Amino acid sequence: MNIHEYQASELFAKYGLPVNAGRVAYNPEEAAAHARAFGGTVVLKAQVHSGGRGKAGGVKLAKSPEEAAEKTGQILGLDIRGHIVRKVLVAPAADIAKEYYLGVILDREARGITLMGSAEGGVDIEEVAATAPEQIIRVTADRTLGLQDYQARELAFGMGIPADQVNGFVAIAKGLYAAFVGEDASLAEINPLIRTGDGKWQALDAKVVLDDSALGRHPGSEALRDLDEENATELAAKAAGMAFVKLDGEIGCMVNGAGLSMATMDAIKFAGGAPANFLDVGGGATSAQVVAGLKLILDDPEVKAILFNIFGGIARCDVIAQGIVDGLTQIEVKVPLVVRLLGTNQEEGRRILRDSGYNLITADTMSEAAQKAVAAARGSL
């Protein structure tokens, strides 16, 4: 689950990180009031679940309450990488002497929690990773003992932090690591982490992604969810008891079981296509769920073909087949459908599909199904 910068800052503050305390404004008048309360120059920052706000005009300085109101008016409503700005964080402007990058990630390759730091702060870290990977220093925390001081120092030295500033940096690295672990995050990032003109460390931006699977351990986290920022289709799937993840390919997938879904997506890639979504209708899928799933997939205008890959273990092929047929009677489907049914009651399932009168493409194996779906999406089947 993604949360906003102002919420991530509040989490960071709980772990002793020096954040820039700001206030959220929903309109220019509120922004002016906050600016008046802070006095002096303030920074106005679009609160959206996206980076790159600076470049998109979503971060501006204002020297007076009037200017704060005017610039907030410019920021509200902006479209930043597909996210519409509905609120703005108003905070005292910082005096930046140097910008660094500091992030904590769940590092599958290293099989641990890795801290990444760079003296190339403030900019897109993905860009640094692509153009100057040697500028990113990594240390993986000790799996048993957690992040050790010497590891944080190693990071600091690699980032070229002057010796007299290293202890302060170590405290921040340890605080960020503690926040990551304590909040069950999958990402915690400060970009930029700055040195101020008067020689202090400050976290000038805050990004946290919380692990959805751990939300149950944090009763307060659900309140941080911003429904405006979430994919409507994913929310509808959740309400229908299905796991749905929107992807950017052209082949809609309906599969039972998470493992089979992953394998199906691989098979589509292997056949030269790209999945439009991940959709696990679950082990005991009902025909109503199949109908709901079909609607979710067809919500996406990019979908050019749909692949059903069903293994009847607990689920029965005839039930799924009936769901597909029910779906087709309820929803007008204009894209080709490829169906592979295997397992319990497969003969009955295939008979239902055959007798339905709908034009369905069938396949016996997963790779055949994937190839047919890719061909069908290209209109060459």
Catalytic residues: 101, 189
* The binder of ligand GDP chosen from 33, 93, 171, 298 (CB under 6 A): 93
Report how many residues bind Mn ion under the rule CB under 5 A. Answer: 2
Site for Mn ion in 242-281 (CB under 5 A): none
- The answer to whether residue 120 forms part of the interface with Mn ion (CB under 5 A) is no
Per rule CB under 6 A, is residue 94 in the interface with ligand GDP? yes
> Does the protein bind Mn ion through residue 289 (CB under 5 A)?
no
Please, what is the minimum distance in Å from the beta carbon of residue 44 to ligand GDP?
9
The binding track of 103-122 with respect to ligand GDP, each residue x by CB under 6 A or -, is -------------------x
Mention every residue, 6+ apart, whose C-beta is less than 8 A from residue 301.
Answer: none
Of 67 and 99, the one with the shorter C-beta distance to ligand GDP is 99
User: CB of 31: closest distance to ligand GDP in angstroms?
Assistant: 15
Does position 53 interact with ligand GDP (CB under 6 A)? The reply is yes
CA–CA separation, 211 and 165 (whole Å): 32
Long-range contact pairs involving 128-131 (C-beta distance under 8 Å, separation at least 24): 128/101
Q: Which of 361, 325, 315, 319 is nearest to 340 (CA)?
A: 361
Contacts to ligand GDP from residues 195-224, by CB under 6 A: 204-205
CA dist., res. 324 & res. 356, Å (int): 10
Please list the residues that pair with 254 across neighbouring strands.
Answer: 308
* Euclidean distance between CA atoms 126 and 106, whole angstroms: 16
Q: Contact region for Mn ion (CB under 5 A) — 83-91, 187-195, 236-244, 352-360?
A: 187-195
Distances in whole angstroms, Cα of residue 235 to Cα of each of 76, 226, 248, 249, 286: 25, 11, 17, 20, 19
CA atoms lying within 13 Å on the CB side of residue 4: 22
d(CA 8, CA 371) in angstroms, rounded, equals: 44
The answer for residues whose C-beta is within 8 angstroms of residue 37's C-beta and 6 or more apart is 23
Does 205 engage in binding with Mn ion (CB under 5 A)?
yes
| Min CB(28)–Mn ion separation in Å | 24
| 3-state DSSP assignment of residue 16 | coil
Q: Is 43 in the site for ligand GDP (CB under 6 A)?
A: yes
Among 45, 246, 350, 372, binds ligand GDP (CB under 6 A): 45
What whole-number distance in Å separates Cα of residue 68 and Cα of residue 62? Answer: 5
Interface with ligand GDP includes 2 (CB under 6 A)?
Answer: no
Chosen from ligand GDP, Mn ion, none, partner binding at 28 (C-beta under 5 to 8 Å by type): none
45 binds, among Mn ion, ligand GDP, none (CB under 5 to 8 A by kind): ligand GDP
Span of 63-71, 78-86, 186-194, 326-334 interacting with Mn ion by CB under 5 A: 186-194
* Of the candidate residues 16, 52, 272, 283, the single one contacting ligand GDP (CB under 6 A): 52
Nearer to ligand GDP, 59 or 353 (CB): 59
Q: CA nearest 180: which of 206, 204, 151?
A: 206
Runs of H (alpha helix) within 200-341: 232-239, 258-270, 287-298, 317-330
**Is residue 191 within the footprint of Mn ion (CB under 5 A)?**
yes
- C-beta of 53: minimal distance to Mn ion in Å? 7
Angle 366-377/258-270 helices, nearest 10 degrees? 60
Instruction: Using CB under 6 A, list all residues that contact ligand GDP.
Output: 43, 45, 51-54, 59, 93-94, 96, 99, 122, 191-192, 204-205
Instruction: Using CB under 5 A, list all residues that contact Mn ion.
Output: 191, 205
